Chain A
Amino acid sequence: MGFVFYLISAFAVGGALAAVLLKNLVHAALALTIAFFGLALLFLRLDAQFAGFAQILVYVGAVAILVVFAILLTRGSEIPKEGVFSKGWIAGLAISAAVFAVLAWAVLQAAPWLPNEAATPALTVNDIGNALMSRYVLPLEIIAVLLTAALLGAVIVAMHEKEKTNQ
């Protein structure tokens, strides 16, 4: 593993840590953008160009902006006086540390070798498009329906309710 991998990983992990720890929610959203960007760079290092650029377009471009909009609409940029961490934060921290310990143990104990460590897969976006239109066409259609339904549902949920008049 080269220096670049460690640099990008530190970028992504540091962004994620800052997103979770920063008190001001706007700063947390910006740190989240850094984490998404680092993850996109990791995808690019794994020769997954399409997934990397989809990550940048969807997460850095859309989800981060959506988070910032939600923060500003709910006045989340004001730091609450009673603190940003919940009462049971020790339990939450212990659970996540235990989850990380189990995952890292499983990774390090598992078979350390997979057949494709050296060769880079020669795949173009053309191949991905062909696969999406042939073998994976049904999931693609279902995703299209899901996205439409989710966007309609989000608009309806967040739409301002009219005041009901009691008669």
Chain B
Amino acid sequence: MIVTPLAAYLIVAALIFAIGLAGALVRRNAILVLIGIELMLNAANLNLIAFWRYGPHPELLTGMMFAIFSIAVAAAEAAVGLGLVISIYRHAKTTDLELMNRMKG
């Protein structure tokens, strides 16, 4: 089995995605869950850039633009997510997700 450059980048991205997914599913702290989501978004960006680089028409900039817009959306997501975490902490005095088991305020 020959591992091409594209496949090597895709496997690294899959590994980082799996690590981020594990972090989002396994950790108790809400901030660590956000960190896992950021890692997953970054792995997706690595895939987009790799496909742009090795795709047939890099001059069209499709994958590159997708990655740049994805970075901007991820920044907005991080700001809103951390704002929500701070708001929940102020309300419930904890960021432990196992203790946040009621929907009633």
Residues of A within 8 A of B (CB): 1, 5, 9, 12-13, 16-17, 19-20, 25, 28-29, 32, 35-36, 39, 42-43, 46-48, 50-51, 54-55, 58-59, 62-63, 66-67, 69-71, 73-74, 76, 80, 83-89, 91-93, 95-97, 99-100, 103-104, 107-108, 110, 112-117, 121, 123, 127-128, 131-132, 136, 139, 143, 146-147, 150-151, 153-155, 157-158, 160-161
Contacts and interface: CB of A to CB of B under 8 A. Distances in A.
Given A46-B49, A84-B28, A153 B80 contact: yes
Given A35-B16, A103-B14, A103-B18, A25 B29 contact: yes
A17 B26 CA distance: 13
Q: Is the interface of B mostly helix, strand, loop or mixed?
A: helix
A97 B88 CA distance: 31
Contacts of B67: 48, 51
B30 to A, nearest CB: 8
Q: Is the interface of A mostly helix, strand, loop or mixed?
A: helix
Contacts of A48: 49, 52-53, 64, 67
Contacts of A131: 61, 65
Nearest to B88: A74
A20 B4 contact: no
Given A16-B16, A76-B31, A136 B65 contact: yes
Contact of A5 (B8, B21, B46): B8
Task: Point out which of A95, A108, A123, A158 has the most chain B C-beta atoms below 10 A from its C-beta.
Answer: A158
B76 to A, nearest CB: 3
